[in-house]
């Protein structure tokens, strides 16, 4: 069997184009332009790349992008002051603080200072609690993107056995909660789990967000299962020339795609969906803040 490749790049382009249509409609009807503020503290090169890409795609969707680049030694007070200003700025509908923050800043405190209605990452304790209890709330971008990709394969997720590998607050835990809300039977594994290959062989759906290249092997996968690879790892690629690198996920893609029914590639899988969902969340936040009807995008 050769797995169907779930094309995140194409699906993300569809999502961005439906966001763009609704943005144009809101602008025409109400004169409101959704705005996203991205805050980057320090100069981590990888974060720099993501922030630039987010800003570009925000503008391409017809929204306003506000970027704040603060120095590595910014104090917690300065950062909290900026968030307070953004919370009360009517042109800002979404606020994203790029993680990780430098070690001297308390990310829980900083994230919880964001107005939950503007927390387009869905990391605020209020949004986490609401998603955890099955209430409408802002859903974290990466898990939301994974759910949209799963919807391409399964019209109904009820009763599917799902394994999530990784239990971070930004990917694994919210992913497990969304799958549970969709009535999957959910297992969430992590470094202390002792029998992941065995658990994986029971799963119809495997979502891996561990940050370990080559973690998931073909013999772990039940034939026909769907494999969602969230991992983003930059590894040396001497075959491309000295000092060159390439991006890989957490899945041994070539061998797993011989067994799985469907699989997401890296790059071009979950990553582009994450950014498209950020735009979708910003649009939804704008609609909510202005009491416009919730836009229907790709249905998740
Ligand atoms: N595509 C996208 O849009 C995004 C991709 N990512 C990528 O996804 C990956 C995970 O990100 P994130 O959740 O932030 O990472 P974290 O490092 O915060 O969490 C990793 C999780 O994986 C677990 N883990 C690590 N090694 C193993 C292992 N060998 N077996 C089982 N579990 C393991 C850890 O367990 P423990 O807690 O016990 O240590 C932890 O729960 C990274 O590669 C990151 O770059 C992240 C965000 C968005
Ligand atoms: N507050 C916050 N929210 C985040 O959502 C957040 C964050 N902090 N910190 C870092 C992680 C990581 N992340 C990615 C987004 C897009 C791609 C992406 O578009 N990847 C492309 C490749 C990009 C490349 O070539 O480097 C792809 O997979 O095809 C990857 C990773 C969001 N994160
Ligand atoms: Mg942990």
Q: How far, in whole angstroms, is CA 295 from its chain's centroid? A: 19
Catalytic: which of 115, 119, 121, 250?
A: 121
Question: Are the C-beta atoms of 270 and 230 separated by less than 8 Å?
Answer: yes
pLDDT digits (tens, 9 = 90+) for 67-101: 999 999 999 999 999 999 999 999 999 999 999 99
Cβ 264 under 6 angstroms from ligand 1: no
Q: Which of 271, 275, 276, 282 to mutate for ligand 2's pocket (most ligand atoms within 8 Å of CB)?
A: 271
Active site residue 183: no
pTM above 0.90, yes or no: yes
CA angle 64, 70, 73 (to 5 degrees): 165
Q: Is 114 annotated as a binding residue?
A: no
Q: How far is the CA of 258 from the centre of ligand 1 (A)?
A: 24
Q: What is the pLDDT of residue 269?
A: 98
Cβ 274 under 6 angstroms from ligand 2: yes
Q: What is the pLDDT of residue 300?
A: 47
Which DSSP category does 131 fall into? H
Which candidate, 106, 103, 130, places its Cα nearest to that of 119?
130
Cβ 274 under 6 angstroms from ligand 1: yes
pLDDT digits (tens, 9 = 90+) for 153-207: 999 999 999 999 999 999 999 999 999 999 999 999 999 999 999 999 999 999 9
Domains for the chain: give ranges and CATH numbers: 30-117 (3.40.50.10860), 141-271 (3.40.50.720)
pLDDT digits (tens, 9 = 90+) for 193-243: 999 999 999 999 999 999 999 999 999 999 999 999 999 999 999 999 999
**Distances, alpha carbon 204 to alpha carbons 96, 152, 156, 256, 260, in Å:** 33, 14, 13, 14, 9
């Amino acid at each position: 069997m050769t797995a169907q490749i779930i094309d995140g790049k194409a699906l993300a382009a569809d999502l961005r184009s439906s966001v763009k249509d609704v943005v144009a409609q809101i602008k025409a009807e109400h004169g409101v332009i959704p705005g996203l503020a991205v805050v980057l503290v320090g100069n981590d090169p990888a974060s720099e790349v993501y922030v630039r890409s987010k800003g570009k795609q925000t503008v391409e969707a017809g929204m306003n992008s506000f970027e704040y680049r603060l120095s590595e030694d910014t104090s917690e007070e300065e950062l909290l002051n900026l968030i307070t200003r953004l919370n009360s700025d009517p042109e800002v509908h979404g606020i994203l603080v790029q993680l990780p923050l430098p070690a001297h800043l308390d990310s829980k405190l900083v994230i919880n200072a964001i107005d939950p209605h503007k927390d387009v990452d869905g990391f605020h304790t209020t949004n986490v609690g609401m998603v955890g209890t099955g209430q409408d709330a802002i859903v974290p971008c990466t898990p939301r993107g994974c759910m949209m990709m799963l919807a391409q394969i399964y019209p109904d997720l009820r009763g599917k056995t799902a394994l999530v590998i990784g239990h971070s607050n930004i990917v694994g835990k919210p992913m497990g909660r969304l799958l549970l809300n969709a009535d999957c039977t959910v297992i969430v594994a992590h470094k202390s789990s002792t029998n992941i290959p065995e658990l994986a062989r029971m799963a119809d759906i495997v979502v891996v967000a561990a940050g370990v290249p080559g973690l998931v092997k073909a013999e772990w996968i039940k034939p026909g299962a769907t494999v969602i690879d969230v991992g983003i790892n930059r590894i040396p690629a001497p075959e491309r020339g000295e000092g060159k690198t390439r991006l890989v996920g957490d899945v041994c893609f070539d061998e797993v795609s011989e067994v799985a029914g469907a699989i997401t590639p890296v790059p071009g899988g979950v990553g582009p969906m994450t950014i498209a969902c950020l735009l979708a969340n910003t649009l939804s936040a704008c609609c909510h803040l202005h009491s416009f009807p919730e836009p229907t995008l790709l249905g998740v």
